[in-house]
Amino acid sequence: MRTIDHLIVGGAGGGGGRTSPVYDPNTGKIQAEVRLGDQTTLDAAVAAAQAAQPGWAATNPQRRARVMFEFKRLVEANMDELAALLSSEHGKVIADSKGDVQRGLEVIEFCCGIPHVLKGEYTQGAGPGIDVYSMRQPLGIGAGITPFNFPAMIPLWMSGVAIATGNAFILKPSERDPSVPVRLAELFREAGLPEGILQVVHGDKEMVDAILDHPAIAAVSFVGSSDIAHYVYRRGVAAGKRVQAMGGAKNHGIVMPDADLDQVVHDLSGAAFGSAGERCMALPVVVPVGEETADRLREKLIPAIEKLRVGVSTDSEAHYGPVVNAAHKQRIETWIQTGVDEGAELVVDGRGFSLQGHEEGFFVGPTLFDRVTPEMSAYKEEIFGPVLQIVRAPDFETAVRLPSEHQYGNGVAIFTRNGHAAREFAARVNVGMVGINVPIPVPVAYHTFGGWKRSAFGDTNQHGMEGVKFWTKVKTVTQRWPDGGVGDAANAFVIPTMG
């Protein structure tokens, strides 16, 4: 049995006798075990980070950027290997795994320009003989805790910006698919990143709690499900850390009567079922406006869904692969039953799906519900599987209200040819990321990613300038170079006003 170890300076580190199985979701078999670390493991990583970080922070930013350039080159050179490894543990199809790596790499491209971004502000003559300038300094040691569903992109969202801005970074990836994060950290080292600046510790709640309580860790970035995000946020903040914690989602796609329904069905198929629905920016709820739109959409959706090919992650014809593990498959199928029990109409049932030759794999067939209503728990909660729900809205106002009042507020999309309706929708909807005829509005790396309501706790987004803000603190210097004269003694006791 292959063991996946921590990647910390000085070896795998002691402590943590426990392990957790890593499955091949295509076969349902255990393919490796990952070592679960504990306080001792973390202490070793923190000590190495503390030793390395001051030198890295003092390295001029263009040299730090050169490591980013080289890392980008190495990831591109190893793209096929990374994508295959990612698919083998996650289950998403190879082309989708390449997208996972590529979206992370785009954050690294942003980080290649870090010298420009870190330039401070300067005011000459802010008062008589006085200049004021500000600088962004790294926090010291940061940690990232990441979910299973984007094992390349999300670790790179965090580590890229944290490292480029001069911090040391400790990554605690999901224990369900830990190999790609380790491989990326190895490539960073190969790219010239000094030892101790990026380390990977594996673990579960025990390790997460150790990170949240560790006095030497200044900031924690978390992405995962909402209850845990909220817990991480509260515990980390109580320990005096800077914390950003992204949570779950239930994104809606509004379909206006004037939308091009063929385009919508095409977009929805990918957005609802791609990666087996295991995306925080998936579109599991479609809201057609008006009964006629709903009927026409349903008529086109059914054959499109029935044509979807579910296959192993190496099948280049497959639209999506298995879900991550047996427990998650079970959870999705239970939610489908809940939807039925609550009175939704099950139009296409993906339960009991079996792929010939891979009967033990964690596959779930595409599922479609109609006449889902806002009171149903199957609507309120995140299912995170290949399940699309139609919620019929009588009018535009209801369509704006549904995503706005939902507990999650990660992404939302509107499909229409009417610019006025789209503009109104984007301005009024209570959701953090909006797509207009774009089903998965994940912002590009130099903008920022973040939802609202229970989809994110904290006040800064991931990557772009928000990421730079999160991983740095501002120092403002007010300087005066007196020319030898002594100032007015009486004024020394009055708060300076620069007047």
Does 269 sit near ligand NAD (CB under 6 A)?
Answer: no
- How far is the C-alpha of 311 from the C-alpha of 386, rounded, in Å? 13
249's tokens: 């989602």
| Out of 148, 169, 188, 396, the residue judged to bind ligand NAD by CB under 6 A | 148
Taking the complex as a whole, the smallest distance from the CB of residue 227 to ligand NAD amounts, in Å, to: 8
Q: Which residues are known catalytic residues?
A: 280
Please state the closest distance from residue 269 (CB atom) to ligand NAD, in A.
Answer: 20
Among 26, 87, 88, 146, indicate the residue that binds ligand NAD (CB under 6 A).
146
The count of other CB atoms within 10 Å of the CB of residue 484 is: 4
* 208 touches ligand NAD (CB under 6 A): yes
Which token pair is 179?
């190999």
Burial of 401 (0-12, 13-18, 19+ CB in 10 A): middle
200 burial level (CB within 10 Å; 0-12, 13-18, 19+): buried
User: Which one of the spans 146-154, 291-299, 303-311, 469-477 is the region binding ligand NAD (CB under 6 A)?
Assistant: 146-154
Query: Is there binding between residue 221 and ligand NAD (CB under 6 A)?
Result: no
Among 142, 160, 224, 464, binds ligand NAD (CB under 6 A): 224
Residue whose C-beta lies closest to ligand NAD: 224
Residue 362 lies near ligand NAD (rule: CB under 6 A): no
Q: What is the Cα gyration radius of the chain?
A: 25
What are the phi and psi torsion angles at 405 (to 5°)? -95, -5
Residue 424 lies near ligand NAD (rule: CB under 6 A):
no
| Site map (CB under 6 A) of ligand NAD, residues 21-60, x = contact | ----------------------------------------
Q: Which is nearer to ligand NAD, 202 or 392 (by Cβ)?
A: 202
Q: Give exposure, 320-341, as e/b (b: 16+ Cβ within 10 Å).
A: bbbbbbeebbeebbebbeebee
Nearest distance from C-beta of residue 331 to ligand NAD, angstroms: 10
User: Which 176-205 residues touch ligand NAD, going by CB under 6 A?
Assistant: 204-205
Q: x/- contact string, 233-252, with ligand NAD (CB under 6 A)? A: -------------xxxx---
Number of residues that bind ligand NAD (CB under 6 A): 26
When asked if residue 280 is in the footprint of ligand NAD (CB under 6 A), the reply is yes
Site for ligand NAD in 284-343 (CB under 6 A): none
Q: Which is nearer to ligand NAD, 181 or 350 (CB)?
A: 181
Residue from 38, 106, 333, 382 that binds ligand NAD (CB under 6 A)?
382
Instruction: Give yes or no for a contact between 267 and 251, defined as CB atoms under 8 angstroms apart.
Output: no
Minimum CB–partner distance for residue 100 and ligand NAD (Å):
11
Binding site for ligand NAD (CB under 6 A): 145-150, 172, 174-175, 204-205, 208, 223-225, 228, 246-249, 280, 382, 384, 410, 451, 455
